[in-house]
Every structure is written in C-alpha cells, then in structure tokens.
Amino acid sequence: MRDVVPEELLRDSAEDLYENAPVAYLTSVLDGTLVRVNQTLLRWTGYEREELVGRKRLLDLLPPGARIYYETHYAPLLQMQGEVREIALELVRADGTRLPVLMNSTLVADEAGKPRAVRTTAFDASERRRYERELLAARADAESRARAAHALEHIAEGVVLIGDEGEIQLMNHAAETIFDVSAAAAVSRQATEALDGWEGIATRVAIAGDDEAQVAHVVPVRRDRGEAWLSVTAAQAGAAVVYTIRDVTGEHRLDQVRSDLVAIVSHELRTPLTGALGAAQTLQGRYDDLPEPQRLALVSMIVEQSQRLEKVLDQILLASQIDENVFDTQLQSVDCTEVLDAVVRGVGPDVRTRIVVETETGLVVRADLDRLRQVVANLVDNALKYSLGQVRLAATLREVRVRITVSDDGPGIPEGDRDRVFEKFFRLDPAQRSGVGGTGLGLYIARELTERMDGRIGLLSRERGTTFFVDLPRAEAPST
C-alpha cells in the first residue's frame, strides 16, 4: 500500500518551488540587469533581494577573471545558440568569499521571437569542486609515491623497512641483491628469519630518532656465499624502522689485503732476510777465524734463507698474477707419476724421507704440468710443515677423474675453517699452526690454479691428520 501524503504538502505553490528550489534562479534583462532572483540565491550569496534586483548585473556577481570569460564566451554563445549549459564558474558572495557553481542560461524570447530576457540557473558545485580537488591531490600524491618508489628501486643502497613486530614491510631491489632473497619471498616475514645475519644488524646498529644524526655501523655478516661487510644506518620512521644498507665487502677486503700484505712483508720477508744477512756479516767479519765447517754452515744458511725469501716473493707475485689474470695455462695430457716424482725431487733431502708415494701407474690427466706440480708441491710443503710424521702422496682413478691426495698426521683443520684455508692470506691461529711461518697464500694459489685446469680441490680432515685432494679430468695417454 502506498503512503498517504498529506494534501497540503502536495499543494506546494509554484512560487514556493521557485523560491526554495535546490538551485539558484536568476533572471536578467538583455543589458544584464537582474530582474528576479530566488531565495536560494540570496541564501547562498548572503545578499538581500533589494541589493540585487534592479541594481546589479549577473556580471557583477562574478569574480574579475570570470567576467572576461562571461563577456568573451558565455554571452556570445548564448546569443548564438540561445542557451549555454553546465559552465563551471564562481559567484562572489556578499562577504567576498566564492561559491563554485555550474551555470546554465537560456535566452527567453517574446511572442514575436525577439529575445527579451536571460534565465539562469546555478547549481552549487562546491561538493563537486572539492571532490575534483581531492581527486587531483590524490593523483599528485599517487604520482609522487610512484616516483619515490621508482627512485627507491634504483638507488644503489639497500633499503629495508621493518615493522614494530620485527616483520619486513618493504625491501628494494638493492636489498634483494645484498641479502640474495626476493622481496616477494621476504616481505611480511620476520627479518631475523628471512635475512641472513639480520640479528647482528639489529643488535649492533643504533636506531636514530627524529632529530638524531644517523651513524653508520659496519657489521660483518656470514652468508651462504661467504662473509660480507655491510655498512648500515637505521632511523625511526613512525612505528617502523628504516634501514639503509651498503655492501662494503670489497672495500673491507681491500683494507684487509693491504694490512695482510704489510704483515707478510714485515714478518715473512724480514725473518729470512735477517738470517741471511746475519750469516753473511759473520762470514765477512770473521772469515779467517772460522773453521771450514762453520763457514760452510753459514753459507748453507744464506742459501736456505735466500730460497725461503725467493719462495715468499714468488708466491706474492703469482697470487697477484692470478688476481689480475695475467698468466696462462696450457692443458695437455700429463702423467701423474711424473708430477708426483717431480714434487718429491723438489723437496729438501732432509725431509724427503718422510714422503711415501703410492700411485697407480698409467694415470693421465688433462692439466698444465708446471701448474699441477706447483699445486701438489704446495700441498706437500704444508703437510711437511704442519706435521711431523709420514706424508702420503697418492693418485687414484675415480671414474672419469683422477684424484691426487696428500695426507699427513698433523693437527688437522677445524671444521669451520675448512673453506677458509683456501682464502687469500688466511692462516689458522698461531696455537693451531704451532708457530710455523707462512704467507697464507699457498692454498689460495693451489685452489686458483686447480680451478683454472677445470679441477677441484678440497680437504678431508679428521680428529688427527689432514688429507687434501685434487680432482682432475682424466685424459688420454700422451702420444709418444
């Protein structure tokens, strides 16, 4: 059933509708003078009827800029078309403030078709204007966010945003590279779970407040791919913390290499030099007083220490050639027995007796003879240096490869250092290597040379003793 609407409400007069309609009505004669306006217009603009009717023109209600537009466009259009639709303008209120409106005007003609008046309606467009402004502001905001996001993706520094629950809220491309994880896989997970080494960063890096200067901390981080050094700053950003991260591993390594080199030069070169110089000076000063055997002993000492010097210098030189990739390898068929024999021959006669060779005959690998000899000689040198007992040297066939092993009964190498011994300059701490000298370059060189011959080097170390192995591709026997 329909609601019954009271009679008096339906009996609204046309006058009332005109006066209180939700639009403003303005009627003007052809010179523009207002002759009639409704109550809505008065309410919206704050004018009294007497102030407008017969006194002001429609034009007078417009701000200066809009007046020009009215005269150059609105009025001519009205003349030509008889009507103008939906033009966005502003009306100036009595107090000077402005009201955005959408205006429509129609030319009213008399019975003879002669234009007599203009009827204008104005809709309050402030809502719509606000909406448009908000829309524009929102668009500008979105654009500036998009620009910021674009910049964030392209800066070299890693940026990670961590929420107050320790969860990753955002990470940029550089951060993905540093931590070797995709943002898709990491975002919204706990940083300590998703990012290698985050715990160290979170505990060491102080979070700067709003007005505080950010201080960068360099934090070592252990990752699957080896140790990295990250320079990190952190700043509070609302409830979250924004971390800026730079990978400074390269710079750090360079510093490390420099100081390692200084350490070697000062110790490993000075020790033999002092020995050789001391012996030479003794010979020089007391040559005639010394019995023959002592003179010979001093000469042997000079030779020995000079050889040690030469070895250290050779290692430094070779390591730098490796780094700069300025040496070549000539791969050919090489008989393992020949290599192992050459290595044994190169060892001093006093320790040679400690070496036992057990090799199958006829094992041929694809390698560079000199380089392979160098690799095995380094391993044998270490085995002799770091142990006191027998050193076993062997070559065995393993499917398509040949494995050369060097085993000793020395102190072994702790589990955690088995990869690190191949790093440049790395040496176990003095207690573990019992004061034996060295550059920390031997195994680095051995690994680099082996890999350049498509081989693989590694070690097996138990409670006591170490076995280093070198696997190389098997080759056809050299044609004779």
Nearer to ligand ADP, 197 or 438 (CB): 438
Q: How far apart are CA 403 and CA 471, in angstroms?
A: 4
Instruction: Tell whether residue 74 is a contact of ligand ADP (CB under 6 A).
Output: no
Ramachandran angles phi, psi of 441, nearest 5°: -105, -20
Binding to ligand ADP, residues 413-442 (CB under 6 A): 413, 421, 426-428, 433, 438-442
Residue with tokens 């890999």: 451
β-strands 466-473, 391-398: how paired? unpaired
Instruction: Tell whether residue 161 is a contact of ligand ADP (CB under 6 A).
Output: no
Q: How far apart are CA 166 and CA 239, in angstroms?
A: 11
Task: From 18-26, 69-77, 118-126, 408-416, give the range in contact with ligand ADP by CB under 6 A.
Answer: 408-416
From the number of C-beta atoms within 10 Å of its C-beta (0-12, 13-18, 19+), residue 385 rates as middle
Q: Kindly state the DSSP code that residue 268 receives in the 8-state scheme.
A: I
Q: How far apart are CA 417 and CA 302, in angstroms?
A: 35
Q: How far apart are CA 465 and CA 323, in angstroms?
A: 31
Q: How far apart are CA 446 and CA 261, in angstroms?
A: 19
Binding to ligand ADP, residues 458-477 (CB under 6 A): 466
Assigned token pair, 401: 């490869």
User: What is the contact mask toward ligand ADP in residues 369 to 398, using x (rule: CB under 6 A)?
Assistant: -------------xx--x------------
With CB atoms as reference, the residue minimizing the distance to ligand ADP is 438
Nearer to ligand ADP, 197 or 442 (CB): 442
Nearer to ligand ADP, 402 or 413 (CB): 413
CB of 365 to ligand ADP, least distance (A): 22
Instruction: Tell whether residue 103 is a contact of ligand ADP (CB under 6 A).
Output: no
Instruction: Tell whether residue 450 is a contact of ligand ADP (CB under 6 A).
Output: no
The residue count for binding ligand ADP (CB under 6 A) is: 20
Q: How far apart are CA 176 and CA 196, in angstroms?
A: 11
Q: How far apart are CA 158 and CA 145, in angstroms?
A: 18
Instruction: Tell whether residue 228 is a contact of ligand ADP (CB under 6 A).
Output: no
CB of 431 to ligand ADP, least distance (A): 10
Chain positions contacting ligand ADP, by CB under 6 A: 382-383, 386, 408, 410-411, 413, 421, 426-428, 433, 438-444, 466
